[in-house]
Amino acid sequence: MSHRAGRHFLQIPGPTNVPSRVLRAMDYPTMDHRGPEFADLGHRCLLGMKKIFKTESKVVIFPSSGTGAWEAALVNTLSPGNKLLMYETGHFAMLWHEMARNLGLRPEFMSGDWRTGADPDRIAERLKQDGDHEIKAVCVVHNETSTGVTSRIGEIRKAIDSVNHPALFMVDTISSLASIDYRHDEWGVDVTVAGSQKGLMLPPGLGFNAVSKKAMEACEFANLPRSYWDWNAMFGANKSGYFPYTPATNLLYGLDESLRMLIDEEGLDKVFARHDRHAEATRRAVRAWDLEILCTNPAEYSSSLTAVLVPDGHSADELRKIILDGFDMSLGTGLTKVAGRVFRIGHLGDFNDLMLAGTLCGVEMGLMRSNIPHKTGGVDAALSYLALGETADGQKRAPRSATA
């Protein structure tokens, strides 16, 4: 392959760009994970992740992909044949559902249209019919990465409570945690699932669970086979800052650094506001191009990615290829049901205004080179919003007078 000058634009919705500070933090000799130096690092990472999940309860860190953390959530809390209610928001919800089946559970899959989030009313309605409380858990993907739709987790909690159903509530936050506001304790989530390679700005390789007291109680009676994923072994070793088997030591160095950046330096509220703003600028560009945003409910627009539909008869993957070949930028592909129909712009993680401007320029130039019918002016719309857009109180920011 020939050398391509300049930085590659990695604008898929995960893995995301890893800040050079984080890369440098990992470039440090691997230490003895049972030695005295390690415990401080272990404690700091576990404590920091509690702040990210907004929980006072327990957090578990696995050397794994996000998929491993999905499995941990199920095998630690459930028994063979247990019924679950899972919601079809898109591709990732489908995979989690498939996993539940593979594990010998009986998941019911509430069908969705891939353009809206999990509907709290439908969940309440279904749980109301389950008078014998056969459904042991409700599983929802917070930010469906295949569609750019964010489900309303707080409202789903209220829906479960409104029918007094005792099911555990499990939420996948793999592409939302540390990008979109999330509150494990306040929203009464029992198990939250996360991974390192999206909002946390790390390479792939860490999986996380946040675990409520109720989920820990369920763990006592759950008898799906578990070994590698066993929470109890983790809780035991974590007390003193250690892990039951070799952790991904260098990724933990990176996590320690990214937690410092997210919590201590930028602050989570600002991190969320930054993602909201970039998502809004992106949507303005898409509308100006006269293309369609896949998500149809503005209350469920994702702040970490935007999935864009191309008109019928056109291929989103051809456009992605034009953009990759011509401008060295990777965009997310359409998955399963929306394959070829959508491309996804990731705007999460270590990201700023000029990176977004470059990203949108790449898309607009790609559209120009393609035969996809569209209007120009998407970049202009985004730039005006970024430069002069509404202030926090909804006022339009005036350009500074030239005669000042």
Ligand X SMILES: *Cc1c(COP(=O)(O)O)cnc(C)c1O
Q: Which two tokens stand for residue 105?
A: 């559970």
- The site that binds ligand X (CB under 6 A) totals a number of residues, namely 12
Written in H, E and C, the secondary structure of 163-212 is CCCCCEEEEECCCCCCCCCCCCCCCCCCEEEEECCCCCCCCCCEEEEEEC
Q: Which residue is nearest to ligand X (CB)?
A: 66
Closer residue to ligand X in complex, CB, 26/174: 174
Q: Hey, what amino acid is at 91?
A: H
Q: How far is the CB of 16 from ligand X (least distance, A)?
A: 10
Q: How far is the CB of 265 from ligand X (least distance, A)?
A: 25
Q: Which residues pair with 150 in a beta bridge?
A: 143
| Biggest distance spanned by C-alpha atoms of the chain | 74
Q: Which stretch binds ligand X (CB under 6 A): 31-39, 167-175, 294-302, 351-359?
A: 167-175
Q: What angle is formed at CA 173 by the lines to CA 316 and CA 239, rounded to 5 degrees? A: 145
User: Binding to ligand X (CB under 6 A): which residues in 56-115?
Assistant: 65-67, 92
Closer residue to ligand X in complex, CB, 92/229: 92
Closer residue to ligand X in complex, CB, 92/109: 92
Q: How far is the CB of 63 from ligand X (least distance, A)?
A: 12
Question: Rule CB under 6 A: is residue 140 a binding residue for ligand X?
Answer: no
Closer residue to ligand X in complex, CB, 72/78: 72
Between 1 and 30, how does the x/- string for binding to ligand X read (CB under 6 A)? -------------x----------------
Q: Number of C-alpha atoms within 13 angstroms, CB side, residue 121?
A: 0
**Which burial class, exposed, middle or buried, applies to 402 when counting CB atoms under 10 A from its CB (0-12, 13-18, 19+)?**
exposed
CA separation for the pair 25, 32 (Å, rounded): 17
Q: Residues interacting with ligand X, by CB under 6 A?
A: 14, 65-67, 92, 141, 145, 172, 174-175, 195, 204
